[in-house]
Amino acid sequence: MRVLLVEDEALLRAQLKGTLEQSGYAVDEAADGQEALHLGSTEPYDAIVLDLGLPLLDGLTVLQRWRSQGQSTPVLILTARDSWHEKVAGIDAGADDYLAKPFHTAELLARLRALVRRAHGLASPLLQHGDITLDTRTGAVTQRGASVNLTAHEHRLLSYLMHRAGQIVSRSELIEHLYAQDFDRDSNTVEVFVARLRRKLGADCIETVRGMGYRLVPPA
């Protein structure tokens, strides 16, 4: 999953980026409203964390412009604890959730997971496909009850396919949603990680649909 983090406080932004990456997200970051507007309008994200107090262009204006463009990416806004009017304005402008500063990172991660699940029409934090289970809260992957050890990129790929279970996902879509903007997107890493997942989960767990992409094999 790929997230856009918009926060002008450098220390907080660095801390949040590290936390999100440790939790399995690919993270792009923006320090002002103009950069955020550009990235959110041109790059595909699974969720956006948006501070409202931004230089150059405030977060509320950025959000309103995204929504006026038809951008439907889930947005979690960050507000000052006593700014209830900002919360109301943010929700009315199209935000999907809000979090008041200061906050616990565990709550931020939980709210992000919920936003991504709802965007894919999923209710449970446990993703199940055949004999494979992925717990989005802990990141644990099991197959027939046995733990499966995955690298960060393997986990990110499996998670995206499980969120899109039953659908064919193109290689370009996987690249756009699995890697941050500065990643080498001309590499063959998608094929490499698909091959590794097949070795760990079974050769027939991921189907290659010629000329279209990949999908999890429907359970028998």
How far is it, in rounded angstroms, from Cα 118 to Cα 136? 13
Token pair, residue 155, equals 């986990």
How far is it, in rounded angstroms, from Cα 153 to Cα 192? 10
Q: Please, are residues 70 and 98 in contact by the beta-carbon 8 Å criterion?
A: no
Q: Scanning the structure block, which residue is given the tokens 């969120």?
A: 163
What pLDDT does 184 receive?
62
With helix as H, strand as E and coil as C, how does 131-143 read? CEEEECCCCCEEE
What pLDDT does 201 receive?
94
Residue 3, pLDDT > 90, answer: yes
The pLDDT tens digits for 29-81 are: 999 999 999 999 999 999 999 999 999 999 999 999 999 999 999 999 998 86
Residue 84, pLDDT > 90, answer: no
Residue 89, pLDDT > 90, answer: no
Residue 129, pLDDT > 80, answer: yes
Superfamily of 2-119 according to CATH:
Response regulator (3.40.50.2300)
Specify the DSSP class assigned to residue 169.
Answer: B
Work out the average pLDDT over 144-161: 93
Work out the average pLDDT over 141-165: 93
What pLDDT does 83 receive?
75
What pLDDT does 183 receive?
65
| pLDDT cut 90: percent of the chain above it | 72
Q: Please, are residues 31 and 7 in contact by the beta-carbon 8 Å criterion?
A: yes
Class of domain 126-216: mainly alpha
Work out the average pLDDT over 123-135: 92
What pLDDT does 27 receive?
95
CATH 3.40.50.2300 boundaries in the chain: 2-119
CATH 1.10.10.10 boundaries in the chain: 126-216
Tell me the average pLDDT of the chain. 91
What pLDDT does 147 receive?
96
Query: DSSP E strands: which ranges in the chain?
Result: 2-6, 26-30, 47-51, 75-80, 97-101, 126-129, 132-135, 141-143, 146-147, 206-209, 213-216
What pLDDT does 217 receive?
83
What pLDDT does 94 receive?
92
> pLDDT class for 87, splitting at 50, 70, 90?
confident
What pLDDT does 81 receive?
66
CA distances for 146 relative to 14, 18, 133, 143, 206, angstroms:
35, 29, 10, 5, 19
The pLDDT tens digits for 164-195 are: 988 999 988 998 888 887 666 555 688 999 99
How far is it, in rounded angstroms, from Cα 99 to Cα 108? 7
Specify the DSSP class assigned to residue 96.
Answer: S
Token pair, residue 62, equals 């950025």
